[in-house]
Structure 1
Amino acid sequence: MLAIPIAQLAMLAAAVAGGGAVTGLLAGLFGVGGGTIIVPVLYEVFGMLDVPETIRMQMCIGTSFAIIVPTSIRSYRAHRAKGMVIDGVLRLWMVPVVIGVVIGAAAAAVAPAGVFQGMFAVIAGLIATKLLSGRSDWRLGDDLPGPGPMRVYGFFVGLCSSMMGVGGGAITNMIMALYNRPIHNSVATAAGLGVPISVCGSIGFMLAGLLRQDMLPPLSIGFVSIIGFALMAPISSYAAGHGVRIAHALPRRYLEVAFGLFLLTASLRFVFALVR
């Protein structure tokens, strides 16, 4: 059995607990699932537990999706109680999002880690630039497009979310902003999409990991670590409600700047991971 000093275990537990709290606040505040926090924390934890490098990133993404499930549900319910969710978008995007997640999960099971990091860095950087600029004229239209283009957007959200291990909030908010949707509506709708993305992503990575049973760490179901889920999910789910209350108390521009800074920081972190 692998022996880890008590001090290291305490530090790991503190890091996971802190990551869970930040994850929940971000989920409620920005409508994101929190995968940008969960994945790097779990990457270090799994590294110290000697999880093989060939499946380490997959384990992080699969476990991230599982942790996001309760957080997304709590965040969505809280936003829905505020009456800010755009139901028409959820109906149009639900099926294409799920299809994108399924395809992305299959691809992510064999793709190198650089694919996930590169996609996130580019997309997050573009969104951050748009939000921080404060330019209201950066638009593709004054209202959301018809059902055809909307379904294409839904597929894109699901595919990218699955390959990056995130709940889709960042991409959803970018698309909604380009079509002049208020940030509070965008955040609430993104929280709703995080539910099917995280559920389908969890199942997809569980199934994908069954092909690598000989390499999986103890207490894992495919590429989902039950230990990681048990440590982070309760804390992040509880903190999500507090994030929602903060989101609805902030002016629109404050929320845009805060979200932009968050995405820019995450983007730079992934760029550093690619070039180091």
Structure 2
Amino acid sequence: MEDLSLLYLGLLAAALLATGLVAGIIAGLLGVGGGIVIVPVLYYMFIALKIDPSVLMHVAVGTSLATILATGTSSARAHYLRGSVDMDLLKRWWWAIAIGVVAGAILAGNISGGALTLVFGFVALAVSLNMMFRKNVPAVAEALPGTPLKEILGFLIGGISVMMGIGGGTLGVPTLTLFNYPIRKAVGTAAAIGLIIAVPGTLLSIYFGWDVEGRPPFSLGYVNLVGFFLIIPASILSAPLGAKIAHAIDPSKLKLVFALFLGFTGLRMIYGVMA
């Protein structure tokens, strides 16, 4: 029995290390946030390891949010030093995003794993379509809307992102660019938004999963500590490899491939729940 437990832990560690490597390479290739990769990879890794279906999506989301605490801090700092974080916008917007995060985390902590999977699946499908057709979508306005629409947008970005286990880039960048925001400032500001999402999101993931049965070994609430400590260094080490490959291959084709992968993954997750 002990040998089986050690084997299980070894397989879990290998799967989580592979998750970090895949996330880092794709992030380096396409410049996308790791969460949009980490969550679905963890989801299928946990299925293969026969983690309790009722908690596997919650653990995938919680673990992803925890990794953003480290990777997001580094990214936000780098963008801030380059002057690409709009601090004025963050000062006016952070509280609406934070309220959305708390509301989304509370909802995520009280719904089934299947419902949480559907949220990820549908939004991943929308992100996939955005990536494929984004160049053909013009800005809808010259600037962000005023109160209360701006706050509603922040609330939705925070709420949906925390339920998906992603940072600010996946939803924040396309939202800001729709309102004629310069892409570099949109990326930098979204990196900072990722921290606003990750800090309360991680704490609430720990709280809501504290006494839940069926979680993988070494989990603090819905945050798997093995995943946290393996995914971060693996993704940091593999991201430069992804960036190197990106210089040798047409990035537009890579983006299309990733969009198709994300769309297929979203559809597969939706089908898996509804079938």
**1:79 pairs with 2:75:** no
Greater mean alpha carbon deviation, residues 193-202 or residues 46-55: 46-55
Deviations 1:13-45 (A, max 9, x none): 554334324434655777754222212332344
Aligned counterpart, 2:266: 270
Q: How does 1:7-26 map to 2 (within 5 A)?
A: 13-24=13-24
Q: Structure 1 residues 85-94 or 120-129, which shifts more?
A: 120-129
Judge which range, 16-25 or 195-204, deviates more: 16-25
Q: Partners of 1:163 and 1:94 in 2: how far apart? A: 18
Partner of 1:119: 119
Write the letter of the residue equivalent to 1:267: G
Report Cα offsets for 1:154-190 as digits up to 9, x if no partner: 1101110111111131111121121011222211111
Deviation at 1:123, TM superposition (A): 3.4
> For residue 266 of structure 1, what is the amino acid of its counterpart?
L
C-alpha spacing 1:134/1:7, structure 2 compared with 1 (3 Å)? same
Gap change, CA 1:148 and 1:115, over 3 Å in 2: same
Give the distance between the partners of 1:88 and 1:30, measured in 2 at CA: 28
How is 1:99-110 mapped onto 2 (pairs within 5 angstroms)?
99-110=99-110
Letter in 2 for 1:272: R
Taking only the aligned residue pairs, the percentage that are identical comes to 34
Query: Could you tell me how far apart the structure 2 residues matched to 1:262 and 1:216 are?
Result: 30
CA contact (8 A) 1:139 1:179 kept: yes
Identify the residue that residue 236 of structure 1 maps to in structure 2: 235
Distance of aligned partners of 1:69 and 1:55 in 2 relative to their CA distance in 1, 3 Å threshold: same
Partner of 2:57: 57
What is the CA deviation profile of residues 76-117 of structure 1, one whole-angstrom value per residue up to 9, with x for unaligned ones? 112222222222222222111111111111111232334334
Change in Cα spacing, 1:25 to 1:49, as seen in structure 2 (3 Å) is closer
Give me the whole-angstrom Cα distance separating, in 2, the residues matched to 1:31 and 1:191.
Answer: 12
Distance 2:224 2:150 in 1: 34
> What CA distance in whole angstroms lies between the structure 2 residues aligned with 1:215 and 1:18?
22
TM-score in terms of structure 1 length: 0.81
For the structure 1 residues 192 and 56, does the alpha-carbon distance in structure 2 shift closer, same or farther, using more than 3 Å as the test?
same
Once residues 81 and 28 of structure 1 are traced to their aligned partners in structure 2, the CA distance between those partners, rounded to angstroms, is 20
Q: Report the count of equivalent residues.
A: 271
Question: What SS does the corresponding residue of 1:146 show, helix, strand or coil?
Answer: coil
Indicate if the aligned counterparts of 1:94 and 1:196 stay in contact, CA closer than 8 A.
yes
- Change in CA separation of 1:208 and 1:41 when aligned onto 2, cut-off 3 Å: same
* Structure 1 pair 26–44 and aligned structure 2 pair: CA distance change class (3 A): closer
SS at match of 1:210: coil
Distance 1:180 1:259, change over 3 A: farther
Q: 1:133 to 1:266 in 2, by over 3 A?
A: closer
Of stretches 80-89 and 232-241 in structure 1, the one that deviates more from structure 2 is: 232-241
Unpaired stretches in structure 2, ≥5 consecutive residues? none
Distance 2:140 2:65 in 1: 31
Residues 129 and 260, structure 1, Cα contact 8 Å, conserved in 2: no
Instruction: Give the match for residue 175 of structure 2.
Output: 175
Structure 1 residue 69 corresponds to structure 2 residue 60: no
> Which deviates more, 127-136 or 193-202?
127-136
| C-alpha separation in 2, matches of 1:81 and 1:258 | 29
Gaps spanning 5+ residues in structure 1: where? none
Give the distance between the partners of 1:201 and 1:117, measured in 2 at CA.
17
| SS of structure 1 residue aligned to 2:210 | helix
- Are positions 1:197 and 2:193 aligned together? no
Residue equivalent to 1:226: 225
Tell me the distance in 2 between the aligned counterparts of 1:246 and 1:101: 35
Q: Take 1:95 and 1:243, find their aligned partners in 2: how far apart are those partners?
A: 35
**Partner Cα distance (2:58, 2:86) in 1:** 32
Query: CA separation of 1:92/1:167 partners in 2, compared to 1, >3 Å: closer, same or farther?
Result: same
